[in-house]
Amino acid sequence: MNIHEYQAKDILRKLGVPIPAGEIATTPDEAEAIARRIGSEVVVKAQVHAGGRGKAGGVKLAKTPQEAREKAAAILGMQIKGLTVMKVLVTAASEIASEAYAGIILDRATKKPVFMVSPAGGIDIEEVAATTPEKILKLPIDTRFGLMPFQAMRLGFFLYDDLAKARAASKIMQQLYTAFMQSGCSLAEINPLIVDKAGQVIALDAKMGIDDNELDRRPEIAALRDETAEEPSEVDARNANLTFIKLEGNVGCCVNGAGLAMATMDLVKYYGGEPANFLDIGGSSNPEKVVNALRIITSDPSVKAILFNIFGGITRTDDVANGIVTATKMNPLKVPIVIRLTGTNEEIAMKILSENGFSASSDMDEAVKKAVALATGGQAA
Residue 205 as a binder of Mn ion (CB under 5 A): the answer is: yes
3-state secondary structure of 350: helix
Q: Which does 378 bind (CB under 5 to 8 A by kind): Mn ion, ligand GDP, none?
A: none
Residue 30 as a binder of Mn ion (CB under 5 A): the answer is: no
Name which of 191 and 277 has its Cβ closer to Mn ion. Answer: 191
Name which of 75 and 297 has its Cβ closer to Mn ion. Answer: 75
CB of 108 to Mn ion, least distance (A): 24
For Mn ion, the binding residues in 176-195 under the rule CB under 5 A are: 191
Q: Cα–Cα distance between 27 and 73 in angstroms, integer?
A: 7
Q: Which does 327 bind (CB under 5 to 8 A by kind): Mn ion, ligand GDP, none?
A: none
Q: Which residues are known catalytic residues? A: 101, 189
Q: Cα–Cα distance between 1 and 186 in angstroms, integer?
A: 9
Kindly state the DSSP code that residue 378 receives in the 8-state scheme: S
Stretch that binds Mn ion, among 77-85, 135-143, 202-210, 241-249 (CB under 5 A): 202-210
H or E stretch at 326: helix 317-330
Name which of 31 and 371 has its Cβ closer to ligand GDP. Answer: 31
| Contacting positions for ligand GDP (CB under 6 A) | 43, 45, 51-54, 59, 93-94, 96, 99, 122-123, 191-192, 204-205
Q: Which does 304 bind (CB under 5 to 8 A by kind): ligand GDP, Mn ion, none?
A: none
Stretch that binds Mn ion, among 131-139, 200-208, 220-228, 372-380 (CB under 5 A): 200-208
Strand duo 305-312 + 337-343: pairing:
parallel
DSSP per-residue codes, 17-45: -----EEEESSHHHHHHHHHHH-S-EEEE
SS3 content of the chain, % helix, strand, coil (to 5): 40, 25, 35
Q: Count of residues binding Mn ion (CB under 5 A)?
A: 2
CB of 45 to ligand GDP, least distance (A): 6
Name which of 5 and 32 has its Cβ closer to Mn ion. Answer: 5
Q: What is the dihedral of CA 341, 342, 348, 349, to 10 degrees?
A: -10
* Rg of the chain taking only CA atoms, in angstroms: 25
Give which of 310, 307, 303 is closest to 284, Cα–Cα: 310
Q: Which residues bind Mn ion (CB under 5 A)?
A: 191, 205
